[in-house]
Structure 1
Amino acid sequence: MIDLLGYGVLSLGTAALYAFLAIGIVLIRRGSGVLNFAQGALLMFAAYFFNQLSEQWNIPTAPAAVLTIAITGLIGLLFHVLVMRPLRNSTQLNRVIATLGLAIILQASVGLVFGSDSRSVPTVLPDGKFTVFGQEVGADILIRFVIISIVASGLWAFFRYTTRGLATTAVAENPQAASTIGWSPDAVAGASWFAGAGLAGLAGVLMAPLQNPLSSNNLLLLIVPALAVALFAGFVSFPLTILAAFVIALIELEIQVHRFGEDWSLKGLDKAVPVVAIVLFLIWRGRSIPERGHLSEERPMLGTGRVNVPALIIGTAIVLVLIWFVLPPSWLGALTLNAVWALLLLSVVVLVGYAGQLSLGQVAFAGIAALVSGRLVATQDWPLEWALLAGVIAVVPVGILFALPALRARGLQLAVVTLGMSVAIDAIFFQRTYYSPAPEGAQTSIFGDALSKPEGTVVGEAHLFGIPIDKTLYPERYATFVLIAFLIAALAVASMRRGRVGRRLIAVRTNERAAASIGVSIFGAKLYAFALSAGIAGLGGVLFAFQQRNITYGAGAFAPFQSVLIIAFAVVGGIGYITGSFAGAMLVSGALGSRIGSAFSTSLGKVPWLSRLIGTAIAAIAGLAIGRAIQRGVGHLPRYLPWIFLAVFAGSGIALGGRMQEWLTNLDRYLPLIGGVVVILILMQPGGRGIAGFATAQVQKMSNRGRPTLPDSERGTSIKILDDSNDRPQRVGATTSLVVKDLTVRFGNVRAVDNVSLSIRSGEIVGLIGPNGAGKTTTVDAITGYSSIASGQIRLGEVALTAMSAHKRARAGVSRSFQNLELFEDLTVLENIRAASDTRDALAYVTNLVTPGNRPLTQAAVAAIRVFDLEHDLNRPVRDLSYGRRRLVAIARAVATAPSILLLDEPAAGLDEHESAELAALTRRLANEWGLGILLIEHDMAFVMDVCDRVTVLDFGRQIASGTPAQVQSDPVVLAAYLGDESNTEPVEAETTTSVGAR
């Protein structure tokens, strides 16, 4: 026990470091609603800046510390004003990627300004030692922990007891409501960013000495344990932040000290602690399907996956001619690196663009595949082609491992855990000395490496099927090989995008609840997306590693922060476009963008006056952009403010004439910084399409010039069906009945549904009505598998549904619509219908990589299109339709699954009287002509009483009546539930009850 207490005291320094960062994250999250992934980068900047002030410029320690904290806080405030405020109405994904852009800018700036020399931060706290629980601990460590505890206590009291603190919480939860009572959301968010960034500055002053000598990568990656701590605190609680930081730091120290008997093969296991903590938390708190009311955010624009075959053939031929007959070795190297990184970015297009899973683990995939392939070649003499295949196959299970948290987490939580897993893999696998061959008698680990002779893994000259393709001797061969590999992967992804697997992934990305309702396995789609993404990234990793004859895995090539760059560059290129992967890769240092920039800067170096002129023009444009951003962000500023910034920046460009020339002639050095800025600028553009999306839009505009614009009535799509002999089938699904017996659903101690029983037969419409909060939608959620039931039975014919997941119930024949529509906004009407009617074969996950395999529409899908009159809307994006048409698409999509039982949740909500009457006729037709059994939740009593055969009434979760519409209308218990007057026994008139029973 004493040892544990002693280790607890020793871990206080690390706990304080994690808590400092985590509290800043929580503060920014509570004040602005943004999860700041750049908090570690802010600490890194503060540490280097404080060193510069105190050690290089000899400024006294106290003023240097104050200035460091103020400047770091100002960076946070400016970032809010210039970037986050203009993005306040953007998606959460865009805003978190913007913080990644800030991290890139800060890291690049630190490298450019402070260089790579070893630096240390002086301590500002008193020295001295204390012995506590048998452990000697420095006084500075105790002081650090006391300081952060005081900060946490102060913030807790501020948010709990002060008006401004309560207002900050209110603003984050509901900015519009808070603004109506006089609180400015922008002012509150700006203050939170200033304070949160200032805390990072304070951490840089007080805590950075624990990380001496400074390493920008290590400081950046402190964000992982900090995010784990903040996640455990729910991004809300400051006291829990201190507790979680202490527990994680203590466990890390215990593992470091007791490393299972100094077992060297387990080196780095302590870095996995935050990851394990995050995963366990997500398993405890997460849900396999989002709760009702979960908002599906707008996602980046998507490409269609269509391939222009003539352009592809001509373009490939031109590039091959350039490779073999024109380009010098330096350009071939740039093209090779561009294609390799394009593969890494293509893996992001699959995972983030198509499946909507924000992952920061792509470098881990690349590194594992490179490790397996390199070791097989070096130690087992495998040929490259087989080693490459083995590496790609070996990384697929790693991708599936990364996917497991995604089964119960999504969005920012998933980004946190995948970044943590990437850090753990880097610590356990890559921070080692792998080399070949091993000296005779040397101690080796299970990985085949040793403790000395760091020569790397020697793979020698690369051969493919016996043909030498070594990059040094035959750069044109290796460039051709890499380019062909990228083209094959890109064509496979394009084929998948156009096929039914692509529609499954996009359905999951857009709306998981709706995807499950049409029979799409959320688990299967996510596992596949991670596995395919890992395979593509692994291919890129192997090709990257084999550019050299001697592979070193721990030299930074597979550092976790590279995953941040991959996401950022994918956004620049167009994260939803296959061609965007190659365009975004041009920003990589040493790739085509760097080579073009180098050629450009060399040319400028020969004409000094031109370089100075261009530099001044760039400075002027930057000043104008910053001025406009401030004007948009702050508001109520003079219109001429941007022009003042233009003049100031242009004047600075003229004054720095010689420096501007130097910067332009070394443009490739500034490429990472430029990349971070471009990421933010692209995010701030409407739609966030990136380079590829913008180019695609321009090409479409040019191709459409001169063409007549067809009216909506002439935009139809020809429909192919399996059997066109009957466009009004007598049965869509199998004839059966749904029986619900003694259904009970609990939320804590509340019985939302209490012993409800009902049945729905084929060709019958059963209404489910009741006052607001009666449990109607909860009943439908329980029947369809979206809510867990406490007791009861659900059967479809002879099939028990109770233990089935939501997507399996849909496949069994129970389909539903949603009150909030929950359509796949990223798809056209036809693609929505196709997604519902597609077969759910697992083989498509493989075959669609070769051919889309789109089959003719099923009979049920065609019948749904025709009866709901959607022929002329098939090629239109769902988001372009009127609300009434969208309602019809939602029901048609449910019908296209060919169900036996259809559950409609307020299908007439928001429709006018004419549209409601038409929908009532269509609903009756679905039952009479197609034999569907329908459960109808609706607040329009005229609708319910006209179309229903039987009606069941709920009140506070209990079933209070069931019978024909006439019987229910005259039931005094029903009247009391609706009108609150048991003496009133008059039938409920349709005209007076149209607002009853919303949910």
Structure 2
Amino acid sequence: MDILRFVLVGIGAGALYALIAQGMVLVYRGSGVLNFAQGGFVMVGAYTYYQMSVGWGIPLAVALVGSVVAGAILGSLVQLLILRNMTRASPLLRVVATLALFIVLQALGTLIFGSSLRSVPSLLPTNSIEISAGVSIGADRLIILGVAIVSTICLWWFYKTTAFGRATSAVAENQLVPASLGHSPERIAVANWAFGAGLAALTGGLIGPITYLQPNLLAMLVIPALAVAYAANFRSFPVVLVAGLSLGVIEALMSSYVTIPGMSQSVPFIVVVTLMVLRGRGIPMRSYVLDRLPSVGLGRIPVIVAATSLIVLLALLTSILSPVWINAFTVTIGFMILCLSVVLITGYGGQLSLAQYSLAGFGALVAARLFSDWEWPFLLSVLGAFILTALLGALVALPALRTRGIDLAVVTLGLGVVLYNVVLNSKDVSGGVEGIRIPPIDVFGIDVSGLTNPEGYAIVAAILLFAVAIGLLNLRRGASGRRLLAVRGNERAAAALGVNVYGTKVFAFSAAAGIAALAGIMLTFRGASVVTVPFDPFQSIIAVAMTVVGGVGMVGGGIMGGSLISGGIGSELFAKLHEIESWLPLITGIVLLVILVRQPSGLWAVNAELARAGVNKMKDSIRRNRAAKPNGSADAEFSQYANAHTVKVVPRRLKIGGLRVAFGAVVAVSDATLTVEPGQVHGLIGPNGAGKTTVIDAASGFVKSTGTVTLGGDSLTGMSPLRRVDAGLARSFQSLELFEDLTVRENLAIACEDWNFLKYLKDFVKPGRVRLNTAAIAAAQQFNLMDVLDAKPSELPMGRRRLVAIARSIAAAPSVLCLDEPAAGLSDAEAQNLSVLLRDVARNWNMGILLVEHNVEMVVATCDVVTVLVGGSVLTSGPPEEVRSDERVLGAYLGATGTTDEHDTDIRIMSETT
């Protein structure tokens, strides 16, 4: 009976989770945005119902309808005023926008209604219905379950059978195709935001009478809803219902039968992580052609500015400020270090982590136990906490290795929730609100306890802040930073150049977790006890938001963001200004939204740009003189490698035999066989959809295949892309996939730098200069790139960008190079020049080249051997002259393409005789 009773209790909660999650699915399907503000819409609905019914005396039914309308209007305004202006922003920034909206809605709820609990009358009957002897369920819970079931059926039917529903599904996959058929992606997004927010507001109106109203409690309902929506892969409404009910029941049972504190609240994200590992893939995110990530700093250390700032800060701490202000500065310094951890993991690594504040609390807890219970020296305790938290960060990264993009926000928030509920908020583990008492702190015999010597403690924090900041600046300039930015920019391209993507992600999570631990220690060791209860997951959202405001890609932005978090100098400044401090969260959220729309790179980037413009204006004459001279660094490297064009690679033959690639029931390549000889260019042509690019993907290890792939007689079958690059097989991509945050020189360096794990540690201290090897310099010479080594790819015309992509692919001197449509978008003259360059590389470097290209004229002029692929199978292979005169080839092109102008030209070229 007890089990049945808890099952019935869980069904009521699960139905509410399902309703909230269905709204999240609607928003995701209609706009491709993972809406972390869904709990805020629940709060809007609940308080609108409360104000209309209790405050204004409006009938309950009308109040419920009013709450739904209010939520729908607010949801449509979010799309129209905010997200419509961010269509070219990265998915990361669009998710941060919903986090900012979460902050705004929660702050508004607190300002208007306060933080006290409020009750509201119920529209639904509240009597109990007896299910069996001694077991009953509230009538309102049964009605809510019915609402959830009816909602599921209606949504499933509507989106399955109506034109709007089908258009929404199409837009979720690709915006361009539905738009070409007359369906406006913008109107579809607005409608789905209205539906999703309205459904959340309906849930708020229904949940209000069941529980007390409180802004934080209502807003945080997004956490279990995220788990439910993820279980349904953000697509299936029936699965959302089943997952919501199941989650509610599991939570109810665990709250009764599991004695581990906080475990029942952690269930949602234990489910998320489990599903993530089992699925082995991420949430399907819509691809945006013009995604824009926040800009990244150059990593240069402003010696004068840094030294001046440190001297001024030390003077303030030792001679000027009162103990109250010293404590405020110490808190702000701790938040600055925390935001620097966000700069590393999100700004450099491109991974959205919402667990940084929880990791900071874990680091503080470990340090307190080592310092108090084990009686380790303070500095040794800090080091131990850094290492153990870094290891925990690596564990956080493990499920994230199977995902990418927005999935990380879900899983890291979940892991933060689990960590907080089970560890940081547990009286048995962390001491609860009383915390862990710590002895006096001394460093090298000097008392630096926060209570007895706050100046000394603040100086330690300041020195630690500067050490972390300089370390991150060094990291950005080093090979480790370049690898992080490569993975952030494009994982496939990074892997194709031999970057260990998994290892780079683990390093980013580990190092960022260790830095977060330092922040937690500085924040908590100020008093007599270390208390980790305040380290709730919501503060991680605040940390990310403030870092984005400052500039998530820059060390200065992290420092600026930390100064904006309340609790430090900001709170002390506004403490005398009556109620202004209570408005700070709202102001912060609004400023964040404005910055995301207008200046996604943050305030620090704006200030840095203004300062740079002023300096440049003063040095215009000097710049003109320098521009008139040859590039000194390029000349130096050119002279150093005067004979670089004579580079010879290790000759290896690439043999592909019986290759087969299938995507589900669709066979893309079937029994493809070809051989690429050293010093030759082997062309692979065929109609659109013949499987040419898939052959390269399979050969380079990016898709699973059967058959054999050998290089120099060594089998590559089953190897990862990383190991195939090490074996001597490189590739390029049709879409170039250059690293836009890096210069041409740095793009080349990614491919040719020697690498070992110790460089991660070395680069924090001494990164060294960017050095190109002989092959990279030879490639730059061969493709006439010496004069643009210090330019970014975005500053170059398309023709030179393509040359950069090819030069980068051969910078590591591979034995075989696979090129995927390198002439796409080039003029005839540029294509002819590229043809000459490729033949020179093959002959002079003794490199085998597999060339996939639609420009048949270029293929005929460039290649020694041409293989024709039709329908995933090899039609014929041989010298260009024989292949172009083969009637089967002409028939295959004509049959596959009809009479389109482009392929008519291809046919004419192939049929010409020499």
Shorter-normalised TM range: over 0.9
Distance 1:807 1:288 in 2: 21
Correspondence for 2:522: 543
Correspondence for 1:47: 46
Change (3 A) 1:32 1:195: same
Correspondence for 2:787: 872
Which AA in structure 1 matches 2:818? Answer: L
Distance 1:484 1:521 in 2: 33
* Deviation of the 1:32 alpha carbon: 2.8
Show CA shifts across 1:637-690 (max 9, x none). Answer: xxxxxxxxxxxxxxxxxxxxxxxxxxxx4322211111111100101114x121
Q: Is the aligned partner of 1:228 residue 2:227?
A: yes
Distance 1:371 1:231 in 2: 31
Correspondence for 1:787: 703
Correspondence for 2:899: none
1:74-85 paired onto structure 2 within 5 Å: 74-85=73-84
Aligned 8 A contact 1:360 1:415 in 2: yes
Aligned 8 A contact 2:172 2:286 in 1: no
Distance 1:183 1:906 in 2: 32
Q: Is the aligned partner of 1:678 residue 2:591?
A: yes
Distance 1:582 1:24 in 2: 37
Change (3 A) 1:422 1:722: farther
* Deviation of the 1:332 alpha carbon: 1.5
Aligned 8 A contact 1:402 1:418 in 2: yes
* Deviation of the 1:280 alpha carbon: 3.3
Aligned 8 A contact 1:766 1:948 in 2: yes
Which AA in structure 2 matches 1:77? Answer: S
Aligned 8 A contact 1:580 1:692 in 2: yes
Correspondence for 1:276: 270
Which AA in structure 2 matches 1:339? Answer: I
Q: Report which stretch shifted further, 322-331 or 70-79.
A: 70-79
Correspondence for 2:547: 570
Correspondence for 2:765: 850
Change (3 A) 1:880 1:726: closer
Aligned 8 A contact 2:330 2:461 in 1: yes
SS of 2:592's equivalent in the other structure is helix
Distance 1:208 1:296 in 2: 42
Correspondence for 2:119: 120
Distance 1:824 1:164 in 2: 38
SS of 1:147's equivalent in the other structure is helix
Q: Is the aligned partner of 1:668 residue 2:645?
A: no
Q: Is the aligned partner of 1:977 residue 2:889?
A: no
Q: Is the aligned partner of 1:950 residue 2:865?
A: yes
Distance 1:347 1:363 in 2: 10
Q: Is the aligned partner of 1:696 residue 2:690?
A: no
1:541-620 paired onto structure 2 within 5 Å: 541-554=520-533, 557-598=534-575, 601=577
1:877-896 paired onto structure 2 within 5 Å: 877-896=792-811
Change (3 A) 1:471 1:876: same
Aligned 8 A contact 1:361 1:419 in 2: yes
Distance 2:475 2:890 in 1: 55
Correspondence for 2:310: 316
SS of 2:633's equivalent in the other structure is coil
Correspondence for 2:291: 297
* Deviation of the 1:951 alpha carbon: 1.6
Distance 2:254 2:228 in 1: 18
1:897-916 paired onto structure 2 within 5 Å: 897-916=812-831
Correspondence for 2:136: 136
Correspondence for 2:370: 376
Aligned 8 A contact 2:672 2:873 in 1: yes
Distance 2:194 2:821 in 1: 46
Which AA in structure 1 matches 2:305? Answer: A
Change (3 A) 1:899 1:950: same
Show CA shifts across 1:138-196 (max 9, x none). Answer: 22211111011112222222222333333444455555554555544433333322222
Q: Is the aligned partner of 1:503 residue 2:482?
A: yes
Q: Is the aligned partner of 1:724 residue 2:701?
A: no
SS of 2:708's equivalent in the other structure is strand
Please point out which of 352, 356, 369 is paired with 1:358. 352
Distance 1:541 1:139 in 2: 47
Q: CA RMSD in A?
A: 2.7
Change (3 A) 1:954 1:190: closer
Please point out which of 832, 840, 845 is paired with 1:925. 840
Which AA in structure 2 matches 1:884? Answer: G
* Deviation of the 1:70 alpha carbon: 2.8
Aligned 8 A contact 1:492 1:849 in 2: yes
* Deviation of the 1:536 alpha carbon: 0.5
Aligned 8 A contact 1:520 1:840 in 2: no
Change (3 A) 1:121 1:388: farther
Show CA shifts across 1:424-443 (max 9, x none). Answer: 11111122225xxxxxxxxx
SS of 1:40's equivalent in the other structure is helix
Change (3 A) 1:899 1:279: same
1:154-173 paired onto structure 2 within 5 Å: 154-173=154-173
* Deviation of the 1:841 alpha carbon: 1.6
1:519-538 paired onto structure 2 within 5 Å: 519-538=498-517
Correspondence for 1:517: 496
Please point out which of 682, 701, 706 is paired with 1:766. 682
Distance 1:293 1:810 in 2: 27
* Deviation of the 1:59 alpha carbon: 4.9
Correspondence for 2:253: 254
Show CA shifts across 1:169-228 (max 9, x none). Answer: 445555555455554443333332222222222111212444x34444333332122112
Aligned 8 A contact 2:89 2:293 in 1: no
SS of 1:758's equivalent in the other structure is strand
SS of 1:108's equivalent in the other structure is helix
Distance 1:319 1:862 in 2: 45
Q: Report which stretch shifted further, 972-981 or 740-749.
A: 972-981
Correspondence for 2:721: 806
* Deviation of the 1:129 alpha carbon: 2.4
Which AA in structure 2 matches 1:31? Answer: G
Unaligned runs of 5+ in 2: 897-902
Unaligned runs of 5+ in 1: 435-446, 602-664, 982-987
Correspondence for 2:900: none
* Deviation of the 1:859 alpha carbon: 0.1
Change (3 A) 1:873 1:473: same
Correspondence for 1:637: none
Correspondence for 1:609: none
Which AA in structure 1 matches 2:88? Answer: N
Correspondence for 2:426: 432
* Deviation of the 1:929 alpha carbon: 0.7
Distance 1:44 1:123 in 2: 16
Q: Report which stretch shifted further, 498-507 or 410-419.
A: 410-419
Distance 2:321 2:829 in 1: 68
Distance 1:69 1:372 in 2: 47
Aligned 8 A contact 2:644 2:777 in 1: no
Q: Is the aligned partner of 1:934 residue 2:849?
A: yes
SS of 1:848's equivalent in the other structure is helix
Change (3 A) 1:202 1:251: same
* Deviation of the 1:272 alpha carbon: 3.2
Distance 1:991 1:568 in 2: 53
* Deviation of the 1:423 alpha carbon: 0.9
Aligned 8 A contact 2:32 2:286 in 1: no
Which AA in structure 2 matches 1:326? Answer: I
Aligned 8 A contact 1:156 1:238 in 2: yes
Which AA in structure 2 matches 1:152? Answer: T
Distance 1:224 1:92 in 2: 20
Aligned 8 A contact 1:29 1:35 in 2: yes
Correspondence for 1:968: 883
* Deviation of the 1:465 alpha carbon: 3.4
Correspondence for 1:245: 244
Q: Report which stretch shifted further, 506-515 or 471-480.
A: 471-480
Which AA in structure 1 matches 2:204? Answer: G
Which AA in structure 1 matches 2:46? Answer: A
The percentage of counterpart residues that share the same residue type is: 40
Which AA in structure 2 matches 1:673? Answer: L
Aligned 8 A contact 2:276 2:282 in 1: no
